[in-house]
Amino acid sequence: MSYDKKAYKQRQNELKKEIKSIMEDFIPSLIVDPDEMDKYLGNLAGLYGYSLYNQIIAFRQFYLKYGREPEIFQSYGRWKSVNRFVKKSESGVKMVRPQPYKYKKLNELTGDEEEEIGMTWRFFTVFDLSQTDGEPLQRNDFIKGKALMSYDEIKTVVEKEFKVISSPLELEKGATNSEWIRISEKSSENYKISTIIHEVAHNKLGHFERDISREQAEIEAESCAYLVTSLLGLDNQKSKLYINSWSPKAAQDAVKDSAAHILKVAEEIYKTITANNYQLKLL
């Protein structure tokens, strides 16, 4: 099949217009409409952490193109890495990534041309799970085992102090504002246990009153979650990865200074959620 440069360029220009419309018109209208936002964000998931912005861009294209909601977006190569393969008849949708470029600009004072760096974006292609064949998709949130208490049992205890809201958003695993805690209903049982403890820890550690960095707050809360979930019998590799992802040395050092406080809060949370569990009292 011969390559039609003119037709290709026309398709690229049409695609640019479509994505520009999504970025400049659709996304701004989406974020002020909670009902519509739930429709779009409620199904988002990913083996690879594409940005929320990119997820919406791809979702919108897919919905307009096929008239149905996608499941999980992934590039051709990443599907192949989990032994799934894009069907021959399928065409993907586009996400965008920043692309720096150099250009010359006239300095009006000196009359010389100077090199400047600008920023644009370029496309890359992703495919939905439904467009692939292969081995069943294994979802692994890195928290293994069976906890000594269920999420619902822990949630019942937490609700005595905080309003617990079930969120349809996949990408927002958890959030809190000191009065309520929001947990994604799309997470696994173990992930929900770890997340609700993390959000309780933010409150018990005083993160809404203390003047500390976000990095320090996240490390402290996840350290609490790791301690409590470990006491509950879970192998929580997710917490280890999360803690290590907050890499600034200043934050790590600050957490070392608050170690005693973290241990005290973790023990308090554990004792509170297990207070009425007779089985655990015997351990």
Closest CA to 202 of 218, 184, 191, 180: 218
Q: Indicate if the alpha-carbon torsion angle 247, 250, 251, 256 is positive or negative.
A: positive
CB-based burial label for 253 (10 Å; 0-12, 13-18, 19+): exposed
pTM: 0.56
Could you list the pLDDT tens digit for every one of the 283 residues in the chain?
A: 556 778 878 888 888 888 888 888 888 777 666 667 666 655 555 555 677 678 888 989 998 999 888 888 889 988 988 889 999 989 999 998 877 778 888 888 888 888 888 777 788 999 998 999 998 876 655 788 999 999 999 999 999 999 999 987 655 678 899 899 999 888 889 999 999 999 999 999 999 999 988 888 988 999 999 999 999 999 888 887 777 766 556 666 777 788 889 999 999 999 999 987 644 443 3
CB-based burial label for 261 (10 Å; 0-12, 13-18, 19+): middle
Can you tell me the distance from the alpha carbon of 186 to that of 211, in angstroms, rounded to the nearest whole number?
33
Q: What is the pLDDT of residue 204?
A: 97
Q: If DSSP codes are grouped into helix, strand and coil, which group holds residue 282?
A: coil
Q: What is the pLDDT of residue 141?
A: 59
